[in-house]
Structures are given as C-alpha cells and as structure tokens.
Structure 1
Amino acid sequence: MKDFFYGIQDLFVDVLFAPLDWLRELELTNWWGANTISWIFMIIGFLAFVYWMLELKKYNDNNEEDKSVSAHSYL
C-alpha cells in the first residue's frame, strides 16, 4: 500500500507539476516571460467575461426571462 501512495506522489511531482516547475524557473530568470503568461490568463478571463455579458444582454433584449414577482418559487 505504501508503494501505491509513493506512485501517486511520483505522478504528481514528476509528471503533472513539471510545467509549474518550468514556470518557477522562468520567473527567476526572465521576469517578462513570467508576467506575459499572467497577462495572457488575464486577457482570456476578460474576454470570457465580455462574452458572458454580451450573451446576458442578448437574452435580456429578447425578453426571454420571466421577471414577474412569482417567477421563482423561493421568492
């Protein structure tokens, strides 16, 4: 049973977290590279937010939502 848990440890430490080790080394050697990756994630999140807001506006403009007081049973 002990080998099973050591196998899980090896999988995560040596295989699945290897890209994170690479990012840590990149941050120590190249500040611009590490921050570029962060900015890419921030841009992706911002684009997803804008897309979601446009979808909500589209449904709101079509009046597809029931906005009456008794629309939801918990109200």
Structure 2
Amino acid sequence: MIFANILPAHPLQGLRARIQQAKANNAEFHAKKAIYDRTFNQLSAMSNRDLADIGIRSSDIESIAAQAVEMH
C-alpha cells in the first residue's frame, strides 16, 4: 500500500485541479483584457488636444492602459 500515499485519492483529482486553475487563469486574463481595452478605447476616443489637457500624449496610450491593468 505504498502507492496509496503517492496516488491521489481519486484518479481525476489532479486533472480537475488543473482544469479549475485553467478556468481561473482564463477569467483573470479576460478581466485584465477588459480593463486594458476599456482604458485604451476611452483614451483613443479623445482628441490630441483633450489628451494634452490631461498631460497625455497619444503615443503613451498603450503604456497607460497597461499600467491600468497593473493597478487592479
């Protein structure tokens, strides 16, 4: 009965854990992508003049959207 300590209690236990982790990773990816997309789209919709008023250059939009993801 040495193998009883090595093998999981249920043969599919490891697979279930990997599937649950994959689902969690997928949900996190989509949540981060939504934050990035929303920030990017909102800033991209602004004119260069409006962006300048708030101290942003249009070339900085991608990095600002990435920073928004890191903040959450």
TM-score (norm 1): 0.47
Q: Does 1 or 2 have the higher relative contact order (CA < 8 Å, sep 6+)?
A: 2
TM-score (norm 2): 0.49
